[in-house]
Structure 1
Amino acid sequence: MKYINVAEANCKNCYKCLKVCPVKSIKYSDNHVEVLENECILCGRCIRNCPQHAKSLVNDISGLKQAVRESRRRKVAALAPSYIASFGTENRFRIAGALQSLGFDAVEETSVGAHAVTKEYARILESDEMDNMITTCCPSVVFLVQKYFPKLTPQLAQVLSPMEAHGEFLRRKYGDDALIVFFAPCISKIEEARVSEKRYIDGVITFKQLSRWFVKEDIELEKCAEGYFGNDPSSSAIYPIFEGIVKDVRANLPEDSHVFNKYNFISVQGAKDVIELLEEISEGRIHNCFIEASTCYGSCINGPEKPDTEYHPISTGIDMMRYLRADKDIRETDLSSLDLSRRILPDPVKEEIPDEETIRSILAQIGKTQPSHELNCGSCGYRTCRDKAIAVYQNKAELYMCLPYMSQISETLANVTLSVSPDYIIAVDRDLRVKECNLAAQHLLKMTKNEVVGRRIDEFLDPLDFALAVGEERNVPLHKVSYNERGITVNQTVIYIPEQGLAIAFLHDVTRQEQETESINKLKLETMEMAQNVIDKQMTVAQEIASLLGETTAETKVTLTKLKDLIVYDGNNGNG
């Protein structure tokens, strides 16, 4: 069942969820992540640690809320004892009143279920039935063992969790038709209730969801009337504090019990430390230990679904212990008649592991051809380069998630581009000091990079475009600039990079083109002048020819006329 949703629009490829996920139950593909439900242990670390808030809990409680409002069944709220760390010691009875105002007929503390579990743990220890005994109060620990350390499943205490034990008690107290809702700061409790064989709990609502429910109903705890609990408090309310289970179990063993001589009592918090301990057990180095294990640092009081309040869970948890120690009138509820047995079976994750040749082939594709090339920096989210290569083979990761490799590639491409580019490339900061320049620019300035970097651009070039770019934080579009002192003409554009406050100028040398253009224009002008001279001379000659032709024509006309008259009129001028 899907419990964690990923908003693709918010996922920024930071790999933070992969880094914090203790079992790497996250698939990275097409620039976003997906939580693999069958591999997830529901510790909630990916939700709590996502810097972009791209992950959220999927837990539809609308049906439970409607049932609380409308159902005629008895509605019972079961509160995990860590509620004090989430809502404050001073609001202990107010939260009971708030739940009753929401429509619950009864509010009970699950610490009584924890006490029943403590008694069962103590009984098993005294019976010498187990070598190591790992507590089963944290469902994420149970899922971790079932999925990733299946051979250690027999070392889990086959005992109901406090939630389930309390649920059994409430069923007997309020009837099989009662609606029992459990409240906790935990995601994995939702799945525990769903897959439970005994199904004592009808649904789970997290403390964060409860806090939002209060807001929607305009309920302010500080102003809420105090309510009441349907059961007496229990000393086992220290369960959600780190070492709380160990302290409670030790306190419920006879002082002269042989258990103290046989067993070591160990408390482990945080998935990383729990995994390391399980590895030690798997290798046969740990025996005769009672192990309190929680995947949350600080244990349950620091669960992933605690509300966003001003209460600090650790200090509030200490206050809770002080409060319990000060209460001398605790009367433990007798739950000895409950059946606390539980069957926990292995449920191993099936993953195909590539052979050594395949792993080396995958690593070679990102330049890791030798073991010495494997940095194991963890930037991709995986512990080692080999782990990442295996994830690539399993289609859970992409090959180029290796940040050092991609950084090296980018740096190489940048260096090659800067080196071979014929354009002059110069970057300056907000103070107009040169931060970078390529090889072509160094040749232009006739200086080495070390001689240029750190000096103001106005020592070398006209700073106007650079000053406009950084001063107005804008790009300066392409235009022609002549640097006469350098003897060059360039097509120049300046790009402003706001994230770094840099102005990067690209100067494309067009000096030769300009010279060629000028030479062509000069040749054209000279040709035009020559053509004009020829035309002028031709016009003069034509005019002179025309003038001569005109005089000759007149004389010829007179002569021919006379000759005509002589022939026609025989010299008598037509008078005869």
Structure 2
Amino acid sequence: MQIIKIDHSLCTQSYACVRTCPVKAIVARTDGKPVVNHDRCIGCGSCLSVCGSNAVSHLSELDKAIELLASDNKVAAVVDPTISGEFPDIQDYRKFVEMIRKLGFEYVSEISFGVDLVARKYKELLENFKGKYYMAANCPSLVSFVEKYYPELTDNLAPIVTPMTATAKVVRKAFGSDIKVVCFGPCLSAKHEASLFDDDGRVDAVLTFRELRLLFERFNIKESKVEYSDFDPPIGNLGSLYPLPGGIVYAAEISTDLLKGSTISASGKENMQQAVEEFSQNTENIKKHFSLFYDQGCLMGPGTTDRSHKFLRRSMVVAYANKRLKDFDPARWEKDMKRFSSLDLSRTFVKDDQRLPVPSQDRIEEILKSLGKDLEDRASCSACGHKSCRDFAISISQGLSKPEMCQTFSLKSKNDYIKTLKNNNEKLKKQTEGLQELEKALKTENQKIKQETETISALLQNLPSAAVIVDDKLKIIESNQSFIKVLGEDAEMINEVIPGLVGADLKTLLPYPIYNLFTYVLENDENVVGKDVNHGDSLLNISVYSLKPNKIVGGVFRDMYVAEVRQEEIINRVTEVIDENLKMVQNIAFLLGEGASTTEKMLNSIIETYQKIQKP
């Protein structure tokens, strides 16, 4: 099931969603846009709260619920007790219940009774302890996390359904097996959980509290327009505390005594992950059962409207539970518990291993060095979304992260490049100042050389192919506008400051497969002719030619996809065109080295060559 969606038209590529995902189910494509790997996703919803551009959304079953209400079926609403923290604007929960009825629901039940049933099953499981420790399976995100990333622990998940599923079973036994069930709650992963059951525990649609508010708005249902109405029985007891961390343990009346208690409760993304890891590694030493939730119990679930004021929400849940317990009928509750005790609340789990191979230590070190992370420079700031620089390097190797997600690497790369350009400019400035006296003495000759250079540069700029000349350190000597366009917008901006990108490092402008061709020619003095390389949306035909052995090389790039060049011309004449361009670059380099004495001859040669190319 695809719970999370990303609208690329709204995405600003901040990678906030990539960083926050606890299982790295969101990865950046080669074009930089983040995409969701739905097989890895656990439906926790962390990405929703960090996206500042509202590009991340979730699966909505709003229309499905409306269709159910418009059908001839009787529909029951089951409501998570988190309503007390979600709807403080509704003064009395009985008004809230009637508002739901006005939507067209025949029955409105609170999940708290389902919590009580499940809690009793947990108490029985723990009281019949036979040496095996369990993790409570009430949080669907936790269950998915274990199934996908700790599949060896699936046997340690308590084989008991969630309160939502248990409540669906109660509703069908109480009101009829053919009834449709819609759940309102704070959880996104419950949408996936609902798809797992097709028996009496099935939930036909799961809506978040935000979606419930949209229903109220669509049908213009307001508190001031309705009367009081209470939940349909059976009524829950301590299950009203379920939204709180440890609430179900309290409802089960399981001892939380620090010395004698058998259960540890934890909630929140980091705590849940750490708890599962420690359960995996140290169960025999900890010797406790774990009750874990991803989102502070259900109190701060991603389906809530305002994920803030955690402690205010907590106090509202407690106040709501106390209010419900004032009129609590223990005898009726026990009778209902006995009546529904025969329901099958068992379940199984499926191993769905999504773990990726861990690279070798040598590969990890190689990536860390490429990030500029020496042994003394691995601060592990976690800004990338990983606990350590090592984990980040592993994620890069697995294709789940990009180096640019490291803030220090990104800033250092940009700052170093800017610093390099500034230093080059300063050096050029000092050289210019130092040569001013010499320039006066050689003014006439230099003026002539300048004119020749401008002529050659203008010719280079008018070449139809992209061309660049670099030295033995891959520093650019000369390039044309076609080459700068191949590099993209960033290079065009730099070109405005440094025309022709003179002095720029080719390694910072082109990917390794391309600049390595220049390195090869420099080292081996062997030309590379007609090499096809994919670059972005272009197919480049690249030739690199040695102009001065081991000192200067020139490259010619031709985009094989340009609209102006028909396909048959590319196929029939690409070799001829490349050869002619290489001769031009070679002749240009010769002119630069030998001076103005052969300028006229070379220009005529270039003109004749291009006249030959332009002939039909």
Normalized against structure 2, the TM-score is what? 0.64
Unaligned runs of 5+ in 1: 425-437, 444-504, 509-576
* Structure 1 position 379, deviation (Å): 2.5
Match of 1:266 in 2: 264
SS at match of 2:95: helix
Where do 1:420-569 residues align within 5 Å? 420-421=424-425
* Structure 1 position 232, deviation (Å): 4.2
Q: CA 1:439 to 1:131, structure 2 compared with 1: closer, same or farther past 3 Å?
A: farther
SS at match of 1:133: coil
Supply the AA of the counterpart residue of 1:300.
Answer: C
Q: CA 1:10 to 1:182, structure 2 compared with 1: closer, same or farther past 3 Å?
A: same
Match of 2:289 in 1: 290
Q: CA 1:2 to 1:506, structure 2 compared with 1: closer, same or farther past 3 Å?
A: closer
CA distance in 1, matches of 2:240, 2:18: 34
CA distance in 1, matches of 2:258, 2:389: 44
Match of 2:48 in 1: 47
Supply the AA of the counterpart residue of 1:237.
Answer: S
Q: CA 1:101 to 1:442, structure 2 compared with 1: closer, same or farther past 3 Å?
A: farther
* Structure 1 position 231, deviation (Å): 0.9
* Structure 1 position 413, deviation (Å): 2.0
Supply the AA of the counterpart residue of 1:5.
Answer: K
Contact 2:119 2:249 in 1 (8 A): no
CA distance in 2, matches of 1:148, 1:263: 28
CA distance in 1, matches of 2:381, 2:299: 32
SS at match of 2:305: coil
Q: CA 1:205 to 1:355, structure 2 compared with 1: closer, same or farther past 3 Å?
A: same
2:245 is aligned, of 218, 242, 245, to 242
Match of 1:219 in 2: 221
**Structure 1 residue 339 and structure 2 residue 344: aligned?**
yes
Match of 2:302 in 1: 304
CA distance in 2, matches of 1:11, 1:58: 18
* Structure 1 position 200, deviation (Å): 2.2
Q: CA 1:80 to 1:353, structure 2 compared with 1: closer, same or farther past 3 Å?
A: same
Contact 1:141 1:293 in 2 (8 A): yes
1:363 is aligned, of 368, 371, 374, to 368
Deviation readout 1:130-166 (Å, 9 max, x if unpaired): 5322211111111111111122222211011111111
Where do 1:45-194 residues align within 5 Å? 45-69=46-70, 71-88=71-88, 90-129=91-130, 131-194=132-195
Contact 1:190 1:203 in 2 (8 A): yes
Q: CA 1:244 to 1:507, structure 2 compared with 1: closer, same or farther past 3 Å?
A: closer
Deviation readout 1:290-335 (Å, 9 max, x if unpaired): 32211002x1122111134998523322322332454443542222
**Structure 1 residue 395 and structure 2 residue 392: aligned?**
no
Deviation readout 1:392-440 (Å, 9 max, x if unpaired): 222222233332122112222222222332699xxxxxxxxxxxxx989
Unaligned runs of 5+ in 2: 435-495, 500-616
Contact 2:2 2:59 in 1 (8 A): yes
CA distance in 2, matches of 1:130, 1:213: 48
Q: CA 1:123 to 1:410, structure 2 compared with 1: closer, same or farther past 3 Å?
A: same
CA distance in 2, matches of 1:270, 1:310: 14
SS at match of 1:301: coil
SS at match of 2:181: strand
Deviation readout 1:509-532 (Å, 9 max, x if unpaired): xxxxxxxxxxxxxxxxxxxxxxxx
CA distance in 2, matches of 1:155, 1:318: 31
SS at match of 1:27: strand
Deviation readout 1:212-265 (Å, 9 max, x if unpaired): 1111111123443222321143121111112211211226x8x9xxx9986422
CA distance in 1, matches of 2:175, 2:55: 41
CA distance in 1, matches of 2:408, 2:134: 43
Contact 1:131 1:287 in 2 (8 A): no
Q: CA 1:309 to 1:280, structure 2 compared with 1: closer, same or farther past 3 Å?
A: closer
Deviation readout 1:448-470 (Å, 9 max, x if unpaired): xxxxxxxxxxxxxxxxxxxxxxx
After superposition, the CA RMSD in angstroms is 3.0
Supply the AA of the counterpart residue of 1:239.
Answer: Y
Contact 1:86 1:309 in 2 (8 A): no
Q: Higher RCO, 1 or 2 (CA under 8 Å, sep at least 6)? A: 1
Match of 1:317 in 2: 317
Aligned-residue sequence identity (percent) comes to 27
Match of 2:411 in 1: 407
Supply the AA of the counterpart residue of 1:385.
Answer: C
Contact 1:44 1:187 in 2 (8 A): yes
CA distance in 2, matches of 1:309, 1:223: 28
Match of 1:275 in 2: 273
Match of 1:535 in 2: none
CA distance in 1, matches of 2:82, 2:391: 36
CA distance in 1, matches of 2:356, 2:413: 31
Deviation readout 1:30-84 (Å, 9 max, x if unpaired): 2221222111111111102222222111223312211212x22211111111122
Match of 1:201 in 2: 203
Match of 1:3 in 2: 3
Spell out structure 1 runs of 4+ moving beyond 4 A.
Answer: 259-263, 308-312, 438-443, 505-508
Q: CA 1:326 to 1:414, structure 2 compared with 1: closer, same or farther past 3 Å?
A: same
Q: CA 1:442 to 1:156, structure 2 compared with 1: closer, same or farther past 3 Å?
A: farther
Match of 1:480 in 2: none
SS at match of 1:90: coil
Match of 2:562 in 1: none
Match of 1:210 in 2: 212
* Structure 1 position 129, deviation (Å): 3.6
Match of 2:528 in 1: none
Larger radius of gyration: 1
Deviation readout 1:335-385 (Å, 9 max, x if unpaired): 2111111112322214132222222333333334x4334332223222222
Supply the AA of the counterpart residue of 2:137.
Answer: T
CA distance in 1, matches of 2:11, 2:206: 28
Contact 1:302 1:314 in 2 (8 A): no
CA distance in 2, matches of 1:506, 1:409: 19
Supply the AA of the counterpart residue of 1:271.
Answer: K
Q: CA 1:442 to 1:344, structure 2 compared with 1: closer, same or farther past 3 Å?
A: farther
* Structure 1 position 101, deviation (Å): 1.1
SS at match of 2:289: strand
CA distance in 1, matches of 2:430, 2:91: 70
1:351 is aligned, of 352, 356, 361, to 356
CA distance in 2, matches of 1:439, 1:147: 61
CA distance in 2, matches of 1:308, 1:356: 44
Contact 2:149 2:355 in 1 (8 A): no
Contact 1:97 1:227 in 2 (8 A): yes
Supply the AA of the counterpart residue of 1:306.
Answer: T
Q: CA 1:6 to 1:507, structure 2 compared with 1: closer, same or farther past 3 Å?
A: closer
SS at match of 1:283: helix
Normalized against structure 1, the TM-score is what? 0.68
CA distance in 2, matches of 1:80, 1:354: 43
Q: CA 1:310 to 1:126, structure 2 compared with 1: closer, same or farther past 3 Å?
A: closer
Q: CA 1:63 to 1:97, structure 2 compared with 1: closer, same or farther past 3 Å?
A: same
Supply the AA of the counterpart residue of 2:396.
Answer: V
